[in-house]
Chain A
Amino acid sequence: MKKIISCTINGVKQELYLDTRKTLLKMLREDLELMGVHLGCGGGDCGACTVLLNGEPVTSCLVLAADCEGSEITTVEGVQQDDKLHPLQQSMVEKGGIQCGFCTPGMVMNSLALLRENPQPTESEVRHALSGNLCRCTGYAKIVEAVMDVKNLDRITG
């Protein structure tokens, strides 16, 4: 069965005609070619596909696109400001929080949600907030440092 879904993605209104079984992840990757939404497990276990759904982080592989009618969705492609990296993204780059980079978009989206909710997180709060986002390359140290550094510089604008 197919259905028309209307939602706002990275600030742009979209109307899509979709199979009702399609996940939000597949809609974003296949229909809108937002390839920064990464498929790491398909079961909500790794966090690589994390996007913001009405401001809340969700693993998009577990959300049905049809349930997103009227929603606002932000992916990693919608995080940067004009042509500049968001301060969080800049911090991730500068602190070495990125190696293979496959987990990075999910890390960015979850960190962004954390910082909007709690601009002054402790290290422990960052570590727990990101514990649903797996990384096999970095050992998380530099990712956590990057998120803490955004806090310290108080550069959150978005």
Chain B
Amino acid sequence: MKEFSAVGKRIPKTDAPDKVTGRATYGQDFKLPGMLHGAIRYSDHAHARILNIDTSKAEALEGVKCVVTADDVPETRFGFYKDNMPLKKDVVRSHRDEIAGVVAVNEMIARQAVKLIKIEYEILPAVFNVADAMAENAPLIQPNRDSNHLITNTYNHGDVEQGEAESDVVVEVTCKLPYVNHASMETCVIVAKFDHSQNLTLWSTTQIPFLLQKDLGAALGMSPKNIRILQPTIGGAFGRELDIYPYHPIAAIMAKKAQVPVRLCFSREEEFRAGPQRQPVEVTIRAGAKNNGDLTFRDVSMTLDVGAYVSWGSTTPMVMMETTASFYRVPHVRFKADCVYTNNLITGAMRGYGNPQSSFYVESAMDMLAEKLGMDPIQFRIQNANQPNTITEQGLKITSCGLEDCLKALAERAETKLEPAAQPHLKRGRGVGGTLNVGGGARIYRSDGCGATVKVDDFGHVSLITGSTEIGQGSETVLAQMVAEILSVPVDDVRVINSDTDVKMWDVGVHASRTTFIAGNAACLAAKEALGQIFETASELLGASPDSLKAENGQIIAPDGKSVSLSKVVRSRHFRSGGQMVFGQAFYDPPTELVDKDSYHGNISPAYGFGMQMADVEVDTETGQVRVLKLICAKDIGRAINPMAVEGQIEGGAQMGLGYALSEEVVIKEGKVMNPNFVDYRLFTSADMPEIENIMIESNDPEGPFGAKGIGEMGSSCVAAAVTNAIYDAVGVRLTQPPMTPERVLAALDTKAAG
């Protein structure tokens, strides 16, 4: 195999020097001349009729420029079900509902002023769980619907009854998965500015600049062609800004009324209260297997509380359906998910989408089956593992597949037995959990593509203009490595331009572990086109055919050893009569399909990634405290374009997954967030983290750029499953409700002791 010069290397992030010296300009740092600051007034009730809004005191406060309410804008609706509006006029449906906004000379005054807005309400009955929302005579949350039931997603293959009849062992477990928050270190921020011709420019921490153009157009009643979106350095996102949320149009409404640029920046509390959350789920899985260890069936039903307005949370059943139907080989599967409106929080996309949820219930059931069969949990999974070059019953075309290799790697590690704990009240256990994740996007729109231009200038400097978005994950570096590899130039010579909708070509957004794969393939195609132009001109200069040339260290070399520098080739092509520049362009849209809207069959991703993790835990049976001693992460990543970046994704995912397993939960009471800060919402710290061992399985994907598959989400998805299985191994109780806090562990131990 050819030795690569840039691909496969542990190259530091290209933006790291600016970030480590405080030079990077984040959304929070962004300033414009004359810019004012906005703040939002939210609802005081979970469900109420707005009788009157008195803004006079806020307007009178010194430093306030203007106040905006729904009266300032045409009545527009946005969202998948057109159920949301920027500022609420007649009814508020949750505590996070935006009623008014203030623009002032600074954020402190704006925040003071929103408190001075006096709102009179008529309180309406509210519902805070699925059962109440579905009860007869439940208060209707969205007025244009017959009930609070939003949608049912069903999926079937085979015959579950037959599968159960053929089973020698059957297990059933009900799990409850919590709300959690993205908790990006930078909060949401946006700066909006109108020019004299009413063109809107936004500087935004969005993950979907092109979709946001369209959605904002709908929310503001203006044409998307008059909206330009720029993205400053983004301090983490993890799916948080994969949709339009009301604060986006509100910033524009403020800027329009104030006639100056306006900045709107969430406080940490707003991030918890008004931002989207990971979708909570209540799910029951029934699953079976034969005595020989073959899986027979899975039957899954779940309810999802999607809050008062629909965002991406309502589509997480699609992902959970995929895990249920296609992770391991199961001949008979039935799946049913009911999404229901309540007066709770908005649920959105979050790293792994529905995978942390589905991995939890599927892998809990797998361990329960293995125990009933008396089989080793890893060997049981190996027996049922997905295989390369197979098509699942759901229609997923699994090409590269390193699941069995991941499992075998863990089996090898498991040969080293756990040391017993030092004291008798400490019990140790080991558990595994896995995930099937899309490895190169997911076709949820008609296009899952990304555009790229590779330009080489007269000095040999290369620009990659890509539709993709950098949110801290390292896409700029990885894409630069691929382009540098193809053009045989140093990675430092490639600059990635990715922050302006007026400059870059379309991309669906940064989600579904797609950027390395989709934007990578687009960048490679564009770079190859540019290289073809370079060879064309170089062949004239070197007197050799284009096919015989090769690029090496910034030189184009002929078979006879003669060479010419890349920059000289570009200048020669450029500075002549009828001259041309070197630029390659490509739009890569993967060979995938939308799922059938009724049967949900279809191949939505060009590649699938597989990951397994093994957790060693120690449970304190006196306090209920669970300590993770070690986490071994075996991931099928196709190929590591940058192993250091891959490790970073897995280790960072582990932090998020461990929080999901053990410490993180957005606690809500009657629709209100009770713990909107980092003291009461506990992230894993450096002192809490266990040792992490990374095992990278390189399955070399046939469609992936240089064989790579996406890795952004997998690290977080299966941690909670591995931890709950490890707790069971340690103390013999099955925890079904993350986070598995000391209280919940003790309660489970008490129940077990009570028999």
Interface residues of A, Cβ cutoff 8 Å to B: 29, 34-43, 45-46, 48, 75-77, 79-80, 85, 89, 92-96, 98-105, 108, 126-128, 130-144
Q: List the 6 closest A-B pairs by CB distance, nearest first.
A: A36-B22, A100-B472, A101-B19, A102-B235, A139-B651, A45-B678
How far is it, in angstroms, between the C-alpha of A140 and the C-alpha of B677 when the chains are bound?
20
The CA-CA distance from A131 to B655 in the complex, in Å, is 13
| Chain B 192-218 residues near chain A, CB threshold 8 A | none
Residues of B within 8 A of A76 (CB): 20-22
Give chain A nearest CB distance to B47 CB in angstroms: 30
Within 8 A of A (CB), among B6-35: 10, 12-13, 15-17, 19-26, 28-29
Contact B12 A96, beta carbon cutoff 8 Å: yes
Q: How far is the CA of A80 from the CA of B21 in the complex (A)?
A: 7
Question: Is B28 a contact partner of A98 (Cβ separation < 8 A)?
Answer: no
Contacting pair B19 A98 (CB below 8 A): yes
CA distance A75 to B21 in the complex (A): 9
Residues of B within 8 A of A29 (CB): 29
> Which of these binds chain A: B378-386, B561-569, B640-648?
B640-648
Q: When chains A and B are docked, how far (Å) is the Cα of A85 from the Cα of B692?
A: 29
Q: Is A96's CB under 8 angstroms from B233's CB?
A: no
Given contacts A77-B22, A96-B644, contact A101 B233 (CB under 8 A): yes
Q: Which of B233, B687, B692 contacts A127 (CB 8 A)?
A: B687
Known: A94-B12, A137-B236, A139-B654. A99 touches B473 (CB 8 A): yes
- Pair A138/B268 contact, Cβ less than 8 Å: no
Contact B20 A102 (CB under 8 A): no
Contacts A85-B20, A108-B20; A102 near B686 (Cβ below 8 A): no
**Are A98 and B20 in contact, with the CB atoms below 8 A?**
yes
- In the complex, chain B residues whose CB is within 8 Å of the CB of A34: 22
Task: Confirm or deny: B226 has a beta carbon within 8 angstroms of a beta carbon on chain A.
Answer: no
Tell me the bound Cα distance from A142 to B184 in angstroms.
18
- Closest chain A residue to B11 by CB distance? A96
B558 in contact (CB, < 8 A): no
Contact of B678 among A46, A101, A127, A130 (CB under 8 A): A46
Residues B185 and A89 in contact, CB atoms below 8 Å apart: no
Say whether A103 contacts B22, CB under 8 Å.
no
Type the 1/0 row for B616-653, where 1 means its CB is closer than 8 Å to any CB of A: 00000000000000000000000000001101101111
**Contacts of B24 on A, CB cut-off 8 Å?**
101
24 contacts between A and B (CB under 8 A): A36-B21, A38-B26, A41-B677, A45-B268, A46-B678, A75-B22, A76-B21, A89-B20, A89-B21, A93-B16, A96-B10, A98-B19, A99-B472, A99-B474, A99-B652, A100-B186, A100-B235, A101-B16, A102-B26, A102-B235, A133-B686, A134-B678, A138-B651, A141-B689
- In the complex where A41-B268, A96-B648 touch, is A103 in contact with B655 (Cβ < 8 A)? no
Contacting residues, chain B, for A130 (C-beta < 8 A): 685-687
Given A136-B652, A139-B651, answer yes or no on A98-B16 (Cβ-Cβ < 8 Å): yes
Cβ–Cβ contact B25 & A43, under 8 A: no
B183 in the interface, Cβ–Cβ < 8 Å? yes
- Known contacts A77-B22, A139-B651: A35-B184 contact under CB 8 Å: no
Task: Using A100-B234, A144-B686 as known contacts, say yes or no to A136 and B655 having CB atoms under 8 A apart.
Answer: yes
- CB atoms of B12 and A93 under 8 A apart: yes
* Closest B residue to A142 using CB positions: B648
- Partner among B22, B472, B677, B689 whose Cβ is within 8 Å of the Cβ of A35: B22
CA distance A141 to B689 in the complex (A): 8
